[in-house]
Structures are given as structure tokens and as C-alpha cells.
Structure 1
Amino acid sequence: MTLANATATTTGAKVSAARVEGLTKVYGSGETRVVALDDVSLDLYAGEFTAIMGKSGSGKSTLMHCAAGLDDATAGHVWLGDVDLTTLKEKHLTELRRDRIGFVFQAFNLVPTLTAEENIALPAAIAGRAPDQAWFDEVVDTVGLRDRLGHRPSELSGGQQQRVACARALVGRPDIVFADEPTGNLDSTSGAEVLGFLRRVVDTHGQTVVMVTHDPGAASWTDRVVFLADGHVVDELRDPTPERVLERMAALDSHVGA
């Protein structure tokens, strides 16, 4: 079973689940004007786990928010498969985010009064649909929380709560999952549980995952690391290890500071 969407577009030998073209994002005006992204073009390939890294203020979270349709572009285009998000009215953009994009955030964002099972099923419930039970069961087994489904968030560890959040993001079979610092609130053991789960859904289900992180160790779980600095994509790294990520970051810091 694969989650790769048939409408994704082909770039060379790879298929783009999402891409940005000439993406510029400006906040404020006059003396307070800040260019968060400056003419960025980037393909996010289907069936891959991609990390986006950079110093605070580099534009990495802004890039994710624009690519996910959570923030408007000042200029340029954002594509999900063959759909240009920059042309959509708010109603259609809301429907696209609900039906085709999954989100995982640092703060878990679980509903405290609901059980783990109810939290995972929440997107389908909001959309007025019953979840696909076979796929729901497969996601639950992949996340490894079958015996915790009846527990509320307060009865789960941080790692378990984040795995519930990951399962919630996946249960609607999204084209792409965006994860913003998903291990930022976790200890190393719990963080490894979550990263291992994301790695498995890419490897076994063809899911596309894009993760913003500052952690070289977290980035080493991915297939590709994209580096941002001052609102530009400045480098990328395939088959990363923590050591190679650290070396590349140090080299980039030296170049930027020169």
C-alpha cells in the first residue's frame, strides 16, 4: 500500500509531492520589513523523508508554513501535486489542508478530554466521515499504541502523545505530512520513537514527510537535508549522518560569517 498521490508531478527521475517556485515571503513594511524567504524554489519529493534546517531566522518554519498552505506567499507559487495553492480561495484551501495534508507540531496539540483513539480519529470526525477501519488499524499498529488507545493524553508519555499526533496526521492518507520540530519537547529516547515511526511510514507506506528541525541527530533519520540561510536555500545533503550534518552546518556558518 502506498500513500504517494497520483497527481504528484515528475521532476527528472523523481516525483514531486509538493514544490515551491520563486517563493517570497515578506512580513511588515518600511523599517519593520523583513524578507523571510527570498525567491526560493524547491521540490519536496514523494516517498521521501526530508529535513529542513537552518539557524533561527533562516526561514525554515516560514517555508514549511507556506508549503503547507498555512501562510500566504507574498510572491511565487506553491504546488501540491498539480494544484497551485496560491490560486485557491480560502474555502478550497481549507478543504485541501484537511483532506491532503497532515500536520505534526512540537506541542502535540491533542484534545485532553479525548482518548488516544478519539484523537487519532478526530480529523475524520470533523470532516463528517468515518475513518477507513483497515487503514486506521494499520496506522495504530505501525505507531505501536494498540494497548493505549483508551488512554487520555495525560495518561501517556510525551513520546506516546507525539506518536498519537503522528497517527492522527496519517489516518486521512495525506499526500504529505509536515512536521514542525516534532521531537523538540521530547527526551532522546522518546524522540527516537517518533523519528523511527516517521521513518517506517516512509519506508513501508511510501509516505512523504517534511520535517523542520534544528537537531543533527533528528536530521540523520531522513533521506535528504535542505539547508536555509537568510531566506535562501543554500545547500542540501543526501543520506545524512549526524557528523555530516554538523560538518555541513559548520561550513555554512563559516561561509555566511565570512
Structure 2
Amino acid sequence: MTESRTGGGGESTAVAARAWQVVKAYGSGETEVVALDRVDVEIARGAFTAIMGPSGSGKSTLMHCLAGLDAVTSGQIWVGDTEITSLKDRKLTRLRRDKIGFIFQAFNLLPTLNALENITLPMDIAGVRPDREWLDRVVSTVGLSGRLKHRPSELSGGQQQRVAVARALASRPEIIFGDEPTGNLDSRAGAEVLGFLRRSVDELGQTIVMVTHDPVAAAYADRVLYLADGRLVDEMWRPTAESVLDRMKAFDTFGRVS
């Protein structure tokens, strides 16, 4: 696999996020655990990237570091043109609010708010008025036009996750991170949500990075990154569920593949 190893300097407009020589370690001395070991990666703008790997490979840690949710031990990370590893807490919080969207396995909806109120809540908190035309387009893309006045308890799991997807899209972030976003859904509802994520890339120009263990989910992506032992060891373009499954079996059979 060819990895980009450019550090410092300017940022390409085609890159939504970038990690350079990132190390993330927990503990010290004999108890030190290295979750990420000198990882270099570029996330293409306007594309759907999946991150996969065995349990403990560092895939969620990489996503959390790229999203500014976890500090790196060493190395650098950029979101767009901004190096986030040098930002103070307040500026990092503002960047996450303004430029990054999140979709997690738990829907994290407020039960007392209806779907529309949940979608616009982050912007309401930030004091930002939603772009009505964009909001209508997002709602239409995720198929929620007839459900906006329903509270979470009146929605299925798939519909609740669609609300979470719309919430992430509504502020037009530069990049959206999803951590097993269909993990709590049955296969049909999961396929619906993945389809909406795919459409948000194709029709809305969104950039999405998704951690998943599911070959079927990964097949919706343009590119799959494989981690093992905290290192980026392979990638796959235009994946299919079968090709992803075969690649994961190689990890299980032979351990780390270099």
C-alpha cells in the first residue's frame, strides 16, 4: 500500500482530514499500550471511507484522534487546513462544533424533542440559524419529510438513526465521523441508513469516515482502510462485501498482514 507521508506545509483541497506519523499510547513503561503506531493517512474530500480491523487494532482510536475527540501522543492531525493537534481546548471545541459531524451507535436523541428539534439542536445551542434550503434537502435525502413532528419514541430504530444522520448533516460539516453507526439496527434498517449515507456523499458532496466491523456496511464505502496492531496495513478501493470479507478472513487466519 502506498501511504502519503507529507508532513507540515500546505493542505490539498482534495483532503478533508490527514494524520501524519500519529502515535497514541496509553500508560507508560511496562504497562504502555500503543494503540496507534506512526499512522499516516489522508481522507479524501467528498468520499466515503470505511475503517476496519480486528478488535483492538486501533480503528476507533484513529477515528477519535482524527475527529479531535482524543489527543495524540505524538504526530499531527489536520482537519481541512487546520492542524488540530496544536489547538487549545476552546478552539478545538469550536472546530468540532463548526466543521465536524458525529453519528454514533447510540442515537443520542433527546426524548422530549421531536425529530426536527433534534436535528437542529446543535445549531440552536450554537446560536446558528439553519439554512432552510439545505435543511429541507437533507431531510428529503434521509427520507424524514413525513416524520419531523414525531418524537423518538414514535420512531423506529432506523428512523431514529436517520434523525441522527440528518443532525450530523444539517450544519454542513466538512467531515462526518460514524462509529459503528448501524450497530444497533437490524439488517434492513442498517441498509437504509447506509444508503442514506451513500446518497449524502453522492448527492450532497459530504465526506464520511465510518468505523465498522461489518463487510456489508464497508461495501457502501469508496475506500476501506485496514488497521492491525495500531498500523495501517492495507486499503481497498471500490469494495464489495465479498472482497472485504475475504480480506478480514486473511487477518483472522494469518494475523497481521504486511
**Interval containing the TM-score (normalised by the shorter chain):** over 0.9
User: For residue 201 of structure 1, what is the aligned residue in structure 2?
Assistant: 200
- Structure 2: distance between partners of 1:132 and 1:80: 23
* Structure-to-structure mapping, 1:35-184, within 5 angstroms: 35-184=34-183
Shift of 1:30: 2.7
The amino acid of 2:210's aligned partner reads M
Secondary structure of the corresponding residue to residue 111 of structure 1: coil
The alignment's C-alpha RMSD in Å is 1.3
User: For residue 232 of structure 2, what is the aligned residue in structure 1?
Assistant: 233
- Structure 2: distance between partners of 1:257 and 1:85: 30
User: For residue 5 of structure 1, what is the aligned residue in structure 2?
Assistant: none
Matched, 1:251 2:253: no
Shift of 1:248: 1.1
Secondary structure of the corresponding residue to residue 113 of structure 1: coil
The answer as to whether partners of 2:50 and 2:211 remain within 8 angstroms in 1 is yes
- Structure 1: distance between partners of 2:256 and 2:238: 26
Query: CA deviation digits over 1:17-56, x for unaligned, max 9?
Result: 0010000000112333110000000000001100000111
Q: Classify 1:234/1:124 alpha carbon distance in 2 versus 1 (closer, same or farther; 3 Å).
A: same
The amino acid of 2:34's aligned partner reads V
Secondary structure of the corresponding residue to residue 146 of structure 2: helix
- Structure 2: distance between partners of 1:27 and 1:257: 21
- Structure 2: distance between partners of 1:163 and 1:106: 12
Gapped runs of 5+ residues in structure 1?
1-7
- Structure 2: distance between partners of 1:249 and 1:117: 39
User: For residue 9 of structure 1, what is the aligned residue in structure 2?
Assistant: 11
The amino acid of 1:200's aligned partner reads R
Query: CA deviation digits over 1:216-245, x for unaligned, max 9?
Result: 000001100000001000100010001100
User: For residue 30 of structure 2, what is the aligned residue in structure 1?
Assistant: 31
> What TM-score, normalized by structure 2, do the two folds share?
0.94
The answer as to whether partners of 1:25 and 1:75 remain within 8 angstroms in 2 is yes
The answer as to whether partners of 1:58 and 1:228 remain within 8 angstroms in 2 is yes
The answer as to whether partners of 2:229 and 2:256 remain within 8 angstroms in 1 is no
The amino acid of 1:72's aligned partner reads A
User: For residue 219 of structure 1, what is the aligned residue in structure 2?
Assistant: 218
- Structure 2: distance between partners of 1:15 and 1:9: 8
The answer as to whether partners of 2:228 and 2:256 remain within 8 angstroms in 1 is no
Secondary structure of the corresponding residue to residue 201 of structure 1: helix
Shift of 1:205: 1.3
> What TM-score, normalized by structure 1, do the two folds share?
0.94
- What percentage of residue pairs aligned between the two structures are identical? 65
Shift of 1:81: 1.1
Query: CA deviation digits over 1:127-181, x for unaligned, max 9?
Result: 0111111111111111111111111111110000000000000100000000000
Shift of 1:257: 6.2
* Mean Cα deviation higher: 196-205 or 27-36: 27-36
